[in-house]
Structures are given as structure tokens and as C-alpha cells.
Chains A and B, each alone.
Chain A
Amino acid sequence: MMSYEQIVSEAARAARAAKRHGKRPVFLSALSADGIRNAEPVPFLGDYVPRGFKRLHVRDTFGERYGHGTADGEALLVDSSGFGSRGELALTVQEFAEFTQLHPGYAYGILEAGQFQVVIGVFKHSGKEVA
């Protein structure tokens, strides 16, 4: 099991690497359940926010169902093990795909990666119109 310190340390390392390699959140508008395997993987950004992007507060923006990735509702919590079930705090990958369909025009990046779940930030690009 990963300790919290490990998770924070990995996120910090990922943020440095993301900045060094110019990684950006990925747009997953209208990601269908069938299209997941062909979608661009969600990059691990840590707390790095690339220029031109703004990270949204998930619970304030999308409601109480979402935002379980952090205590104050800043980010999505998504199951990364394949074991998750619908209706749990962590969205299954299919529920995450449905979220992208319900809310097109946003971009996504992994903020923290635990052993069974990832915390995903939702980003808005300042130069792109958001539906």
C-alpha cells in the first residue's frame, strides 16, 4: 500500500517532469465508452498547471456528486484498478467517460496517483470556449 508521503512525493516528481516535458491536460470532450481505448491517456501533471490553463474547483462547478478527489472537493476521484463499481465515491472509468460527455470542452490531468484510485483535475483553457 502506498503511504500518503509516497503519493505526495510521486505527484511532486510528476509535476517537475510535466513542466520539463511540456505536458498539457488532455481534452476528452464527448468521450464515449467505446472510444476509451483510442483516447489519449490522461497525463500525470501533479500540481503543475500549464500556461493558458486554469484548474476548476470540481464540486463548485459540477455539483456534489463529484469532487471526492480531495477533502474540499477540488478534483475528481476515479478508480484506476478496474475493481470499482458504479455509485461509489470513486468514479469508474465509464462514469468518468460519461462525465466528459455531460461536460464537453474541458481538459483533464492526473494530480495524484494512489494504488487504486487517481485524483483528476479538470482544466479550462483560457483560449477555448467552454460549453
Chain B
Amino acid sequence: MTRGENEQNLYWLVARNDLRGDANRGSVSLSRAVDTWYLLCAGNMQQRSPCYPGYTGGGKKNLDLTGTS
């Protein structure tokens, strides 16, 4: 995975978290999401992983926020 792909996946993750919109927790910290993505999701990246941009979460279609698919 290239750095550029990393960045795309990262933006997707952050956008997904924002869309999740947990009102009780407030907005996700961008810095925290970035750190989390680099350390945990990048090592867990596979097609059926929650960290993967195309992950469908049990059949629901994700929005394409990366513009790559």
C-alpha cells in the first residue's frame, strides 16, 4: 500500500466516523482517528475488514467517499 493510498483510506475512515454521528460522543478527533488508522487499521487492511474502504458492514452499501471506486 502506498502512502497515497494510505491517505485516501484515511480520509475515508474519518469521513465514515463523522457520518456515523454518535451524538453522545461528539465528533471524532481527527488526530485520534489518524493515529488509530495508521497503527491499527493499516495493519488490518483487507477486503472484509471494517478498516477497508469497500467494507460493507454486513450487506449495507457504503458511500464512496474516496472517489476511487
Residues of A whose CB lies within 8 Å of any CB of B are 1-3, 6, 10, 13-14, 17, 26, 33, 36-37, 39-44, 78-83, 85, 92-94, 96-97, 110, 113-116, 118
For window 44-65 of B, CB contacts with A under 8 Å fall at 44, 46, 48-51, 57-58
Interface size class of B (residues with CB under 8 A): 20 to 34
A37 touches B38 (CB 8 A): yes
CB distance from A73 to the nearest CB of B (A): 20
B43 touches A92 (CB 8 A): no
B17 touches A44 (CB 8 A): no
Nearest-neighbor residue (CB-CB) of A114 within chain B: B50
Given A39-B38, A82-B17, A83-B17, CB of A94 within 8 Å of CB of B43: no
B28 touches A80 (CB 8 A): no
Q: Which of B35, B46, B58 has its CB near the most chain A CB atoms (within 10 A)?
A: B35
A44 touches B46 (CB 8 A): yes
Residues in B with CB closer than 8 Å to A33 are 35
CB distance from B39 to the nearest CB of A (A): 5
A23 vs B61: C-alpha distance in the bound complex, in angstroms? Answer: 31
Residues in A with CB closer than 8 Å to B13 are 82
Given A10-B49, A14-B46, CB of A94 within 8 Å of CB of B40: no
Residues in B with CB closer than 8 Å to A115 are 50, 57
Nearest-neighbor residue (CB-CB) of B25 within chain A: A83
Residues in A with CB closer than 8 Å to B43 are 26, 40-44, 110
B48 touches A10 (CB 8 A): yes
Given A2-B50, A118-B44, CB of A36 within 8 Å of CB of B39: yes
A118 touches B40 (CB 8 A): yes
A110 vs B32: C-alpha distance in the bound complex, in angstroms? Answer: 19
B44 touches A113 (CB 8 A): yes
A92 vs B43: C-alpha distance in the bound complex, in angstroms? Answer: 17
